[in-house]
Amino acid sequence: MTQELIDLRTSIIEGRYDDALAIVDELEAMSKKEILRKIKSFLIRLLVHMIKNQVEQRLTNSWAASISNSLVEIQDLNLKDNKTSYYLNPDDWEPMLNPALEQAIRQASAEVMGGKLTPVKLGSMVDKPQLILTAKTMILLTYQYSADALMSAVDEYLAQLPGGKQWREGE
């Protein structure tokens, strides 16, 4: 990125504004790609804990905290600086969800049931359509609630997951 900034400065100084605008476009694309990469990372983390919840039929404080934190980070990263638009709109998640789920299954296999399952075995055990639906529902919360209200909304949703009632009641 440093080279792009040097080139941008040079283009402006030399009056090559078309070149400068092309560099600005390139920098914007690089920035968006990095933000989307970070969003995907938090999406995978969210899915790993949802897989653990689905397979083990329980919810721990650690998993709930990780799910909540992932959604807060997704909400924060996804909202553009203008605070009125998003990098990913609600209908834009589909192409990202399936590849992220496959990565999450691989990661979760090291944790679910003490790491005894291979990614292939774990993949055959999870209800992928249900995980995708649950992930979409939780992601929609990031559009429906303010940053201040999101945690409470996520807690309400987590209480509906397997083991969620026991988690909520501290059992």
pLDDT in tens, 27-71: 787 888 999 999 999 999 999 999 999 999 999 999 999 999 999
- The pLDDT tens digits of the residues spanning 91-114 come to 999 999 999 999 999 999 999 989
- Indicate the domain borders of the chain: 40-168
The model's pTM = 0.88
Report the amino acid identity of residue 32: K
The answer to whether residues 108 and 51 touch, using CB atoms and an 8 Å cutoff, is yes
DSSP labels for 92-151? G-HHHHHHHHHHHHHHHTTTGGGGTS-HHHHHHHS-HHHHHHHHHHHHHHHHHS-HHHHH
